[in-house]
């Protein structure tokens, strides 16, 4: 099995896309470094999460992860109906609120 970045959730079946370029932190500053793909998926699954580019990251890496995460539902690799606000992406929740 191909080794994946630390931000990849063990149950997320997707491979890394590119090198490790960001650190994603949760509300209590626990974090993981990851590729943009898994960084966005991790950030989308956290309440109060933040993303920071690593020193050698390409320009815009953190903002790309932040922007992508807004459109991804938490734990997006889990199948099933998503109807509760905690199961929807930030974009879906804002649309429901008319913003």
Residue that the structure tokens 């099995």 belong to: 1
Q: What does the alpha-carbon distance between residue 45 and residue 36 come to, in Å, rounded to a whole number?
A: 14
Element (H, E) at 34: strand 31-34
% of the chain surpassing 70 pLDDT:
97
Q: Ramachandran region of residue 48, left (φ > 0), alpha (ψ -120 to 50) or beta?
A: left
User: How does pLDDT run across 28-63, given as a tens digit for each residue?
Assistant: 999 999 999 999 999 999 999 999 999 999 999 999
- What is the mean pLDDT of the segment spanning 8-31? 96
The C-alpha atoms of residue 21 and residue 84 are separated, in whole angstroms, by 32
């Amino acid at each position: 099995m191909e080794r994946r970045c630390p931000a990849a959730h063990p149950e997320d079946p997707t491979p890394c896309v590119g090198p490790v370029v960001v650190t994603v932190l949760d509300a209590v500053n626990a974090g993981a470094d990851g590729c943009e793909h898994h960084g966005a998926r991790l950030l989308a699954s956290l309440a109060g999460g933040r993303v920071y580019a690593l020193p050698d990251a390409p320009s815009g890496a953190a903002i790309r992860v932040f922007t992508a995460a807004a459109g991804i539902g938490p734990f997006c690799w889990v199948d099933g109906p998503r109807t509760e606000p905690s199961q929807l992406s930030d974009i879906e929740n804002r649309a429901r609120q008319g913003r």
